[in-house]
């Protein structure tokens, strides 16, 4: 549901557009607060809020006794990475060893750019601790018993929140799981058998690739645009040439490339899959971290046949260790319920009750607003550092949500060599080769901008840029 743009947001957006279009340049002085009030017919408080918002994004700065000035250099506007171009074949690259290496080395590094979750400092730890204590009090057996059916209160809260993406879920439409990967694995196991073929975006989260491989599935990687996501014509071509059992998409803020499919593309994908009677697993774990005015819709929003299985969790927004996820499985509910029963028996009653308690009384939305402001500011800081410190010709995604950046260096650059050099300096990055089963993305890597911004992070980006010059 679109939200009405507030006056201070409108003023902030107009100034931001002038900075991005180079009308306002670094060190240009901005109109005084009094001038903003007169020109826009707003109060001093509204003008201040507009400038505070721009300051939070790192676009402007206040100089004592002087006023506000442009601080962010859009003079070197970074180009987006190129649309991926995998071949329509089954990938055979073995990436397991590299994934294990990246995971192990991340624990030993000082700056975790390779991490797949926001920094703990950005999460409401104290409030979650209180919610956990409340959960012990709320549950009749203090949370030590099995939770076969799933937490009813949590499912009710999830159903209520489905309105934010244009859905109308009911409590009974939802199956709770131990995180979104649990949900995705139940969907895959329920609808495929060894030797089947699935279609995914490329690049895509390595955990999904490894899960599919472990189930003996063939994987077709499809071209993906860093801004608009899956190339629909490529999907049409694949469906006409290959026998595909199901599709899997991260339609909102794809991991790792950050793309977000426009509403029209989502509608078209759903219609296309309905024509082939083909199920879709939709991973939507990043959508609550939108940086625009409203949460994007999902493919599930336009699903009238029940073919879309929407998977989500609170791992990227609240607590990855709690393992609280869910799936709205559509017409496949009975199959997936059986699979959950056979493979996990029960979910973590305490953690699920605690998250349910936290979702009440707008605490979750208050936290999300704060987290999104931080991520928006961090994104601008990262883009500034990359434009200043990285080699000329570096391409970078400019996501509208989530907390992941996809960096594409010169074609001749070797991101694995950059990874090795960075690790020696206690900096972990996530090399692009682990997001594919084909020989591609060797000059690409992923960065997490969901860290707490400070001089150490900027200096690490500066050093990473220096190392990038060497490779």
Q: How crowded is the C-beta side of 326, counted as CA atoms within 13 Å?
A: 25
- pLDDT, tens digit, for every residue of 199-223? 999 999 999 999 999 999 999 999 9
User: Which CATH architecture best describes the domain 96-121+366-470?
Assistant: Alpha-Beta Complex (3.90)
CA gap 442, 435 in Å, rounded: 10
CA gap 76, 384 in Å, rounded: 9
Mean pLDDT highest for which of 57-61, 72-76, 90-94, 309-313? 309-313
Tell me what the mean pLDDT of segment 241-252 comes to. 95
Residues 6+ apart with CB under 8 A from 256: 203, 204, 205, 404, 406, 430, 432, 435, 446
Q: Is 92 exposed, middle or buried (0-12, 13-18, 19+ CB in 10 A)?
A: exposed
Q: H/E element holding 249?
A: strand 246-249
Percent of the chain residues topping a pLDDT of 70: 97
Q: Is the pLDDT of residue 73 over 70?
A: no
Q: Is the pLDDT of residue 76 over 60?
A: no
Region(s) of the chain under CATH 3.90.1150.10: 96-121+366-470
Q: Is the pLDDT of residue 74 over 70?
A: no
Angstrom CA distances, 412 to 253, 319, 382, 471, stand at: 28, 39, 23, 8
Range in 23-27, 224-228, 380-384 the model is least confident about: 23-27
- DSSP calls for 143-190: T-S--SS--HHHHHHHHHHGGGGT----GGG-EEESSHHHHHHHHHHH
**pLDDT value at position 187?**
98
Region(s) of the chain under CATH 3.40.640.10: 145-364
Tell me what the mean pLDDT of segment 279-294 comes to. 94
pTM: 0.85
Higher pLDDT, 201 or 73: 201
User: Which CATH architecture best describes the domain 7-70?
Assistant: Orthogonal Bundle (1.10)
Range in 75-89, 300-314, 342-356, 393-407 the model is least confident about: 75-89
Mean pLDDT across the chain, nearest whole number?
91
Q: Is the pLDDT of residue 399 over 50?
A: yes
**pLDDT value at position 54?**
84
CA gap 60, 62 in Å, rounded: 7
CA gap 16, 269 in Å, rounded: 33
**pLDDT value at position 404?**
97
CA gap 456, 462 in Å, rounded: 10
Residues 6+ apart with CB under 8 A from 398: 78, 80, 227, 258, 379, 383
Of 199, 283, 204, nearest in space to 242 by CA: 199
**pLDDT value at position 243?**
92
Q: H/E element holding 408?
A: strand 404-408
DSSP code for 252? B
Contact 311, 325 (CB under 8 A): yes
CA gap 322, 18 in Å, rounded: 43
Report the DSSP beta bridge partners of residue 90.
220
- DSSP calls for 291-345: -SSS----SGGG-SSS-EEEEEESTTTT-GGG--EEEE-GGGHHHHHHHHHHHHS
**Binning pLDDT at 50, 70 and 90, where does residue 2 land?**
very low
User: What pairing do the DSSP bridges indicate for beta strands 175-177 and 404-408?
Assistant: unpaired
**Binning pLDDT at 50, 70 and 90, where does residue 140 land?**
confident
Count of positions (residues) in the chain: 471
Tell me, rounded to whole angstroms, the distance of Cα 1 from its chain centroid: 20
Region(s) of the chain under CATH 1.10.10.10: 7-70
Tell me what the mean pLDDT of segment 155-180 comes to. 95
Secondary-structure class of domain 145-364 per CATH: alpha beta
- Reading the block at residue 446, the tokens are 């992923």
**Binning pLDDT at 50, 70 and 90, where does residue 1 land?**
very low
**pLDDT value at position 53?**
79
User: What pairing do the DSSP bridges indicate for beta strands 246-249 and 280-283?
Assistant: parallel
Tell me what the mean pLDDT of segment 238-251 comes to. 94
Tell me what the mean pLDDT of segment 90-96 comes to. 78
Give the angle subtended at the CA of 63 by the CAs of 59 and 68, to the nearest 5°: 50
């Amino acid at each position: 549901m679109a939200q009405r743009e507030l006056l201070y947001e409108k003023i902030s957006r107009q100034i931001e557009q002038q900075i991005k279009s180079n009308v306002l340049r670094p060190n240009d002085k901005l109109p005084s607060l009094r001038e903003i009030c007169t020109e826009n017919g707003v109060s001093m408080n509204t003008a201040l809020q507009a400038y505070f918002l721009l300051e939070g994004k790192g676009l402007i700065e206040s100089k004592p006794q002087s006023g506000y000035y442009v601080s962010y250099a859009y003079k070197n506007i970074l180009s987006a990475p190129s649309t991926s171009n995998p071949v329509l074949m089954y990938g055979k690259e073995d990436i397991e060893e590299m994934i294990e290496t990246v995971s192990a080395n991340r624990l030993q590094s000082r700056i975790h750019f390779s991490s797949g979750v926001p920094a703990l400092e950005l999460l409401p730890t104290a409030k979650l601790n209180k919610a956990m204590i409340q959960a012990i009090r709320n549950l009749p057996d203090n949370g030590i018993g099995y939770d076969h059916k799933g937490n009813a209160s949590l499912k009710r809260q999830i159903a209520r929140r489905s309105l934010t993406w244009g859905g109308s879920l009911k409590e009974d439409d939802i199956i709770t799981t131990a995180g979104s990967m649990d949900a995705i694995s139940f969907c895959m196991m329920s609808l495929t058998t060894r030797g089947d073929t699935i279609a995914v975006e490329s690049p895509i989260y390595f955990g999904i690739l490894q899960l599919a491989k472990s189930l003996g599935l063939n994987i077709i990687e499809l071209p993906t645009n860093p801004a608009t996501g899956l190339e629909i014509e490529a999907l049409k071509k694949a469906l006409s040439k290959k026998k595909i059992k199901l599709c899997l998409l991260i339609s909102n803020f794809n991991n790792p490339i950050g793309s977000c499919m426009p509403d029209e593309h989502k509608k078209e994908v759903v219609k296309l899959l309905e024509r082939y009677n083909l199920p879709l697993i939709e991973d939507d774990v990043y959508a609550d971290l939108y940086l625009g005015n409203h949460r994007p819709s999902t493919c599930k929003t336009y699903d009238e046949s029940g073919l879309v299985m929407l998977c989500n969790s609170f791992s990227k927004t609240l607590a990855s260790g709690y393992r609280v996820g869910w799936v709205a499985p559509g017409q496949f509910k009975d199959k997936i319920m059986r699979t959950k029963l056979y493979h996990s028996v029960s979910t973590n009653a305490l953690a699920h009750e605690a998250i349910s308690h936290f979702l009440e009384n707008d605490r979750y939305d208050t936290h999300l607003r704060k987290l999104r402001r931080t991520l928006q500011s961090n994104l601008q800081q990262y883009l500034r550092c990359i434009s200043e410190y990285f080699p000329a010709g570096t391409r970078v995604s400019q996501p509208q949500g989530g907390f992941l950046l996809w960096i594409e260096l010169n074609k001749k650059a070797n991101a694995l060599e950059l990874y090795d050099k960075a690790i020696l300096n206690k900096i972990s990055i996530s090399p692009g080769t682990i997001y594919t089963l084909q020989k591609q993305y060797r000059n690409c890597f992923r960065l997490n901008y969901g860290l707490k911004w400070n001089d150490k992070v900027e200096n690490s980006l500066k050093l990473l840029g220096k190392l990038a010059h060497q490779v």
